[in-house]
Structure 1
Amino acid sequence: MNHARTLLTLSLLLGGLFVQLTSYGQTSRRPDQIVRYDNTVIDALINEISETSISYRKASAPQGQLYQVKKSDVSYVRYANNDVERFDGKGKASPNGRPVASPARNQSTARQATPARQAPVASSTDPRTRFGLTVGGGAGLFLIPAPGENSDMGMVLRGGLTAEIPLGSRVALAPSVEYMRFSRTESKITTALNYGVATLAIVPLYNEAKGVNLFYSLGVYGAYGFNITAEGESATFKEVGLSDFHAGGDLKLGARFSQALTVYAQGDYGLMTMIANPPTGAPKVTQATFGVGLRYLFGQ
C-alpha cells in the first residue's frame, strides 16, 4: 500500500515537472515585431503571412487568440532572428527586403530584438515629377469695347506638352507649351492666327483616397504670334497691325480621374491690347478663349 502511494506521488511530481517544462518550452520563443507606419510596435508570434494580411498571436499569450493586421498598414517585420522584411505600402515585399521567413525560421531562439523605430519605407505613390500631353478645343473672341464695333468669334484648337512638378504633398507647378490656332471663316475665306502659348499654373495633386478629384488650375500665359494665314498666303502679325506678343490669365476647372487623366473646361483672358502701336485714344482690343480639354500624364 505504501509502495503504491509512493509511486502515485512520484507520478504526480513527474507529471507536474513535465507540464512546467512544456509550458516553458512554449513560452521561450522569442517574439517577432510587427512595425506599423505610425511606428507602433506589436510584439507577436507570427503564424502566417498571406497576400493581404499577417496573422499572429500576442507574445504574452502564445496559445491565445489569432489576430490579423493588413499588410498595407505594415512598414516592416523584424523576425526573432533579427531578419527584416519591408513592405512598400501596398502589401508587397520591398525589392530590398528579405524573402518571407518560414514558420520554423520564425521560431528561432536568437536573441530578442529591441523595439525598432525606423522611418516608414517611401511609398511608390509619393509625389514625383510627371510629363504629359494636352489637347483641347473651343471658341475665341476678339473683344472690342468701342461703341458700334462687333467682337469677332472664331474656332480655337490647341495642343502640346505639359508637366507636373510637386511643390509639396498637395499642389504642384504645371508648366505647359502649346500650339494654338484661332481661325475664323468669312465669305468662304478662312483666316487663321497661329500662336505658341506658354502657361504657368498651380494645380492640385491627385488624392488616391478619392476616386474622382476636383481639378483646378490657376495661372498666367504668354502667347507669341507665329503668323497669319488665309487662302494659302502667310503674313506676320506686324504686317497686319497686330502685336506679336500678348499675355493674360488662365483658369481651368474639371475633374481628375487618376494620376494620369484630367478633363477640364478652360478659359483664357488677354490683359494686353492686340493692336501693335495703337494710336492715342484707340480702343483696347483683347482676346479671350474658352473650351474643353484633357491632360494625360505619363509615369506612375
Structure 2
Amino acid sequence: MKSIIPTIICFIFFVFPSLKAQEQYVVNGESLSLNSEVKGELELLYYGSKRDYRYFLKKGDYITELKDTKKNKRYQHEYIEVLEEHTSDAPVSTEKVYLILPSLQRFFVEYNAIKDTNFVDPKVDPNLKLRLGVYGGVTNSIYTINVENTKQAVAGLDLELIDPVKLKRHSFVLGFRHTFESDDTNYSASQLNLNYRFKFIKSSRFEMYVNAKFASLTFVKNEIESISDDGAYIVNDSATNFGSPLSFGVGADIRVGKGFITLGYHDFVALNLDSNKETPLDFSLGYKFML
C-alpha cells in the first residue's frame, strides 16, 4: 500500500498536467492531441511519441504541419517556406531554424515578441525587460541663468527597466544626458538621473507616457566673462549638484522594426528648480533598442 501512494502522487503531478495541456485538433482530416509549446499570435504545437516528433504552426484558425521530407537523398525544408509565408509581416530570419523543438521555440518567441511588445513566454523569458535608448535634441536650459535664451545641443542615453506582465504601464529609467557648449555660451553639463514613467497610452505599436525625474547628479561647467576696472576676465563657475528636481516631461515610443523611434519633450516644469521664466524648449528624437 505504501508503495502505491507515491505512484499515485507522481501520476497526479506529472501525468495529469500533461494531459490537461493537450488539446484536440483536426489537421488534414487527422485527429491529433497536440501540446502547446509557444502561445501567441503564432502558436507552436507538437505531437511527441517514442518514434518521432511532429510540429505544427497555428495562426488564428489556420493550422498546418511543419515538414522536412527527404527526396533523392536530400531534405526539402518545406517548413522554412511555411514559416516565411506566415511571418512575412515581421523581420524574423529563418536562416538558422531547424526542425527541432528548441530551435522552433526561439523562432516563434522572436516573432511573437516583435508583433506584441507585451508578449512573454514564461518558458524562456523572465518578466523584467531592458530597453536602451539613444537620442539627440535641443534645449534652452531654462533652469540656468541663460539670459540670452541660447539654444544648445543635447544628447543622451536611457536604460529602461520594464515588467510587461505585472507592471505593463510603468517603468523606471536610468538616464545620462549631456548639454553641449555653443558659440554663444560656455555652459555645459553632464547629468545622471533616475526617472519614473507612466504610460497612459499603450499598445503593441505605440506608447505615450509622462516622465517624472526624481533624482539627478549634475556636473556643471560654466565660464562667465566678467568686466572690471582692470579689464575683462573669465570666472569659472563649475559645480557638482545632487538633488531631487521633481521635473516632468512627456514622450512617445513608436514601434519600428525591432525597436522604437522615440520623441521627447523634457523637463517643461520642475517643482524644486528655479527657472529663468523663458518658455521651455527641450525636445529630442532618438531610437530605442530592446535588449
TM-score for the superposition, normalised by structure 2: 0.50
Aligned 8 A contact 1:183 1:193 in 2 = yes
Q: What letter is aligned with 1:192?
A: S
Give, in whole Å, the separation in 2 of the partners of 1:134 and 1:93: 35
Pair 244,284 (structure 1): closer, same or farther in 2 beyond 3 Å? farther
Q: What letter is aligned with 2:238?
A: A
2:187 is the counterpart of 1:194: no
Q: Say which SS state the counterpart of residue 143 (structure 1) adopts.
A: coil
Pair 57,133 (structure 1): closer, same or farther in 2 beyond 3 Å? closer
Select which of 176, 186, 209 maps to 1:179: 176
Aligned 8 A contact 1:160 1:178 in 2 = yes
Give, in whole Å, the separation in 2 of the partners of 1:178 and 1:234: 24
Pair 86,97 (structure 1): closer, same or farther in 2 beyond 3 Å? farther
Give, in whole Å, the separation in 2 of the partners of 1:254 and 1:247: 22
Pair 97,91 (structure 1): closer, same or farther in 2 beyond 3 Å? farther
2:141 is the counterpart of 1:142: yes
Q: Say which SS state the counterpart of residue 227 (structure 1) adopts.
A: strand
TM-score for the superposition, normalised by structure 1: 0.49
| C-alpha deviation, 1:139, in angstroms | 0.8
| C-alpha deviation, 1:97, in angstroms | 4.9
Pair 272,184 (structure 1): closer, same or farther in 2 beyond 3 Å? farther
| C-alpha deviation, 1:220, in angstroms | 1.2
Pair 184,270 (structure 1): closer, same or farther in 2 beyond 3 Å? farther
Give, in whole Å, the separation in 1 of the partners of 2:276 and 2:180: 22
Alignment correspondent of 2:239: 236
Aligned 8 A contact 2:202 2:208 in 1 = no
Alignment correspondent of 1:158: 156
Pair 180,220 (structure 1): closer, same or farther in 2 beyond 3 Å? same
Q: Counterparts in 2 of 1:239-278, with a 5 A limit?
A: 244-258=243-257, 260-268=258-266, 269-272=268-271, 274-275=273-274
Pair 135,166 (structure 1): closer, same or farther in 2 beyond 3 Å? same
Pair 272,193 (structure 1): closer, same or farther in 2 beyond 3 Å? farther
Aligned 8 A contact 1:181 1:193 in 2 = yes
Pair 255,57 (structure 1): closer, same or farther in 2 beyond 3 Å? same
Aligned 8 A contact 2:36 2:43 in 1 = no
| C-alpha deviation, 1:256, in angstroms | 0.8
Pair 140,283 (structure 1): closer, same or farther in 2 beyond 3 Å? closer
Q: What letter is aligned with 1:293?
A: G
Aligned 8 A contact 1:227 1:234 in 2 = no
Aligned 8 A contact 1:271 1:286 in 2 = no
| C-alpha deviation, 1:288, in angstroms | 5.1
| C-alpha deviation, 1:214, in angstroms | 2.5
Aligned 8 A contact 1:274 1:284 in 2 = no
| C-alpha deviation, 1:248, in angstroms | 1.4
Q: Say which SS state the counterpart of residue 159 (structure 1) adopts.
A: strand
| C-alpha deviation, 1:222, in angstroms | 2.9
Q: What letter is aligned with 1:217?
A: Y
Q: Deviations over 1:131-156 (max 9, x none)?
A: 13111010112338x9xx54332111
Give, in whole Å, the separation in 2 of the partners of 1:164 and 1:129: 6
Aligned 8 A contact 1:141 1:154 in 2 = yes
Task: Count residues in correspondence.
Answer: 186
Q: Mind listing any 5+ residue stretches in structure 1 that lack a counterpart?
A: 1-34, 45-53, 59-76, 79-83, 102-122, 208-212, 276-281
| C-alpha deviation, 1:168, in angstroms | 5.4
Give, in whole Å, the separation in 2 of the partners of 1:93 and 1:192: 57
Give, in whole Å, the separation in 2 of the partners of 1:255 and 1:190: 35
Pair 228,85 (structure 1): closer, same or farther in 2 beyond 3 Å? closer
Pair 85,133 (structure 1): closer, same or farther in 2 beyond 3 Å? closer
| C-alpha deviation, 1:167, in angstroms | 4.7
| C-alpha deviation, 1:159, in angstroms | 0.7
Select which of 211, 214, 218 maps to 1:219: 211
Give, in whole Å, the separation in 1 of the partners of 2:24 and 2:197: 43
Q: Mind listing any 5+ residue stretches in structure 2 that lack a counterpart?
A: 1-18, 55-107, 113-118, 121-126, 224-235
Aligned 8 A contact 2:208 2:252 in 1 = yes
Q: What's the RMSD between the two structures over aligned residues?
A: 4.0
Q: Percent identity, please.
A: 8
Question: Which structure has the larger Rg over C-alpha atoms?
Answer: 1
Pair 236,88 (structure 1): closer, same or farther in 2 beyond 3 Å? same
